[in-house]
Structure 1
Amino acid sequence: MAGHGLARVLSKRGHCSRSEGERLVRAGRVRVDGRIVRDPEHRTGEDARIEVDDAGIAQEAFRYLALNKPRGLVTTRHDPEGRPTVYSCLDGLDLPHVAPVGRLDRASEGLLLFTNDTGWASAVLEGDGAPLKRYHVQIDRAADERLLAVLTRGAEDRGERLAAREARLLRTGTRNAWLEIVLDEGRNRHIRRLLQTQGVEVLRLVRVAIGSLALGDLAKGSVRDLTVDEVRMLGRGN
């Protein structure tokens, strides 16, 4: 049978997250073509008539957003520890349910994308030719060519091979330095862990570009819609 699980379809239509959709379905609050369905994995066609609490759920228009994430926010909708989340930057905006495209950890800053287009998000994150991610990283010591070579050659950490696609020195002093690091994959805390294998600590980490999309002069904590051309380019891996 064609289609996707009902909870996923609710998410794809921008009504809620997939986990929230699962809770709604199990609570008997969702009808498909007039019939209550309690199985979140029930195969549901894209054109099915879906109601939640007797209100019809239509496909929302796709939205594509860029946020300049401030330091100190976690990349999740609800944090069990009660910490502030990136969704605080979206308060007051008229948006469908949008989800982050990838993550930036709590201590990291910079360009973070949101969308309700799950297919596009997958292409940006892990599709063939997914766009490179570019970071500016301040470290706690001076840097030299040996360190840059190690970053691109890679190192083992907890059974994973971590490496940068590119690494170059932006500027250095006697006590700290700024590096530009480019990743073609995004493992958990990738850059921090890679540098820690060399005894180097990160002082600041800012994602400055995803593919051809640069953070630019977007103010910290501010959000803007992507242009049609930006959406198209990122979906192609540029």
Structure 2
Amino acid sequence: MTRVRQSEPLGGKRHGVARALSKLGVCSRSQAEAAVRAGRVGVDGRPVHDPEHPVDAARQKISLDGVTVVATQRVYLALNKPRGIVVSAADERGRDTVYDLLRDAGLPWCGPVGRLDRASEGLLLLSNDSVWAAGITEPSTHLDKTYHVQVVGRPDADALAAMLAGVRDGADLLKARRVALLRAGEKNAWLEVLLDEGRNRHIRRLLAALGFEVLRLVRVAIGPLQLGELAKGQWRHLSAAEVAALRTR
């Protein structure tokens, strides 16, 4: 595998071995923890079973299944997720996942940066750069996300104002940072909704609380990155400029 500069240097810093594996771009944190507990990981030739076992990845040798781990090439992907595809490495019900769309691409492991539920579609990022990904998804640093949403009915000015003010759904206050009516027909309408936070099924719950059924929900932008003309089910590598524009940490 190609050795590359880390987005957050590991040299001189000690991390739990599972976190170190994730930062090296080998697998996700949860996958690394499972591998450690299964006895598949060694440090300087000795097996470890504690995911929090401290290690300096720049000075100590970490192995997985007997093979020395080196930093993998950093991968940054944009994918147009179709409706009905699960954002997961595996699905217990045997449904298609985003990884089926990447099969045979010859890519190193990469994980989804945030989520889209099965019924939603549009722009999804994947990467093996955990620091870059965390900057996009963590509440204190994450980027705004823009959605186009088709609903049954024609939301009026009061409904749009309520989306901005927020509505309670259980313990959550759900609201949009910005909302605009894109177009409306006799029976349904399209809205553009911008979120600066991302609770589970945020837009669907917000609109349901206001009496609107969602027919389609498409994420069209993450920060400055637009979905553009990327076809459904297709993916592409991000340019260095796009990666930098999305970097918040």
The TM-score with structure 1 as length reference comes to 0.95
Matched residue type, 2:172: E
Determine whether 1:11 maps to 2:16.
no
The residue identity in structure 1 corresponding to 2:30 is S
1:193 aligns with 2:205: yes
Q: CA deviation at 1:19?
A: 2.4
Alignment-derived partner of residue 28 in structure 1: 39
Determine helix, strand or coil for the equivalent of 1:221.
coil
> Please, which moves more after superposition, 198-207 or 1-10?
1-10
SS in 2 for 1:19: helix
Tell which deviates more after alignment, 120-129 or 93-102. Answer: 120-129
Residues 33-48 of structure 1 mapped to structure 2, 5 A cutoff: 33-47=44-58, 48=60
Counterpart position of 2:172: 160
Matches of 2:248 and 2:15, distance apart in 1: 24
Report the AA paired with residue 218 of structure 1. Answer: L
Return the alpha-carbon distance in structure 1 between the equivalents of residues 213 and 205 of structure 2.
9
Shift of 1:80: 1.5
Which residue of 74, 92, 96 corresponds with 2:104? 92
Separation in structure 2 between the aligned mates of residue 209 and residue 26 of structure 1, nearest angstrom: 38
1:134 equivalent to 2:114? Answer no
Q: How many residues align?
A: 237
1:196-207 matched pairs, under 5 angstroms: 196-207=208-219
CA contact (8 A) 1:2 1:43 kept: no
Cα deviation for residue 44 of structure 1 reads 1.6
2:220 matched to 1:236? no
Unaligned runs of 5+ in 1: none
Tell me which of 115, 118, 124 is aligned to 2:136. 124
Instruction: Give, in whole Å, the separation in 1 of the partners of 2:61 and 2:234.
Output: 36
Deviates more, 1:35-44 or 1:184-193: 35-44
SS in 2 for 1:106: coil
The aligned amino acid for 1:138 is: Q
Deviation at 1:3, TM superposition (A): 2.1
Counterpart secondary structure, 2:109? coil
Structural mapping, 1:106-125, within 5 Å: 106-125=118-137
2:184 match? 172
Do the aligned partners of 2:25 and 2:130 also contact (CA within 8 Å) in 1? no
The answer on whether the counterparts of 1:5 and 1:43 sit within 8 Å (CA) in structure 2 is: yes
C-alpha distance in 2 between matches for 1:19 and 1:234: 24
Cα distance in 2 for residues equivalent to 1:103 and 1:130: 13
Q: Partners in 1 of 2:200 and 2:150 — Cα distance?
A: 19
8 A contact 2:23–2:129 mirrored in 1? yes
Query: Once the 2 structures are TM-superposed, how far is the Cα of residue 129 of structure 1 from its aligned partner?
Result: 4.7
Post-superposition Cα deviations, 1:33-61, rounded to whole Å, max 9, x if no partner, equal 12111111111223131111221110112
